[in-house]
Amino acid sequence: MKNKLITKVALIGGGPACATAAIQLVRSGIEIILVSKEIGGTIKNANLVENLIGYPEGVVGLDFAKSFQLQLTKVGVPIVLEEVLTVEQIGNKYITKTAETEIISEYLIIGTGSIPKKLDVEGEEEANLNGKLFYEIYNVKQFIDKKNIGIIGSGDVAYDYALNLQNAANKISIIRRTAKTSSLPILQKRVKSTENIVVLNNHVIKKIELKEDKIHLEIEKEGNLVTLIKDLILVAIGRKPNYDFLSEGIISEYTNPKSDSKLYFIGDVNKNNFRQVSIAMGDGMKVAMETVKNIAEKEGYHGASRQVW
């Protein structure tokens, strides 16, 4: 039998968006439960976050995740560390289910971030299952010592991954479909000045094979088929909102929000949102304060909606 928990507000997600919202709600005296498989979110992938006010030297993504995890504990945010399997609305309640727990709430804040896009080529799934192909850098760091790494992608994430691994890997190749990149100029400059990182243009991945503990990439280059051999591969070709676990009714509201809803989407899960940690945190704070205001107006609650800091 599942553990059944009842709360005013449930938050789904362990990244900066939900962490910010949860901390503000607890400070406001609102009963909440935050549920997530883990705390940190995709910010753990970041080599160095340099555009976050308060960190003049920048902050490593993993270090930032650890800092707000400690803050959640210090503030006393109730956390259920379990993976959410389904979410649905029944009447005026939201039902969030994991394998072990059922959480019933009046308000629901979803900040489940994004998930990586896949190449959708032959051999990709097999390589991933065999620990040779990855989509998140924090899952691969322990395996890259002195290895020959391929990073497929042309944007900020691909370049950031390469810089993140430069001191541990033997050689890193950024493999791009075209000669164009959407990466920030400052990241391109850093990659260009790093001896063990090379950029390969006009390389279209057609097939992936595992041979003798190596990963073989069959590539179309200017009309010819060539093979690249790597120890490990990271795929960084983009991300999409993570909401596949939601019921059809809630996905419908994601697409067409209701003005009087008690359901909110924050951070990277928002469609067409810019993926920036500061935006995610701002989303979390805004929704937390809106939620407190709604509760105050409907229930005569006093004490939080006027808080500034």
Residue type, 74: K
> pLDDT tens, 95-107?
999 999 999 999 9
CATH code assigned to 118-235: 3.50.50.60
pLDDT at residue 169 tops 50:
yes
3-115+239-299 with 118-235: one CATH topology?
yes
At 215-257, the pLDDT tens digits run 999 999 988 999 999 999 999 998 888 888 998 888 888 888 7
pLDDT, position 139: 74
Strands of 66-170, DSSP E = 79-80, 86-90, 93-97, 101-110, 114-116, 133-134, 148-152
Residues 6+ apart with CB under 8 A from 261: 253
CATH assignment, 3-115+239-299: 3.50.50.60
- Hunting for tokens 């065999």 — which residue is that? 130
- The alpha carbon dihedral of 124, 126, 130, 136 has a sign of positive
Domain boundaries, given as residue ranges, for the chain:
3-115+239-299, 118-235
**Per-residue pLDDT at 305:** 44
DSSP string across 19-37:
HHHHHHHHHTT--EEEE-S
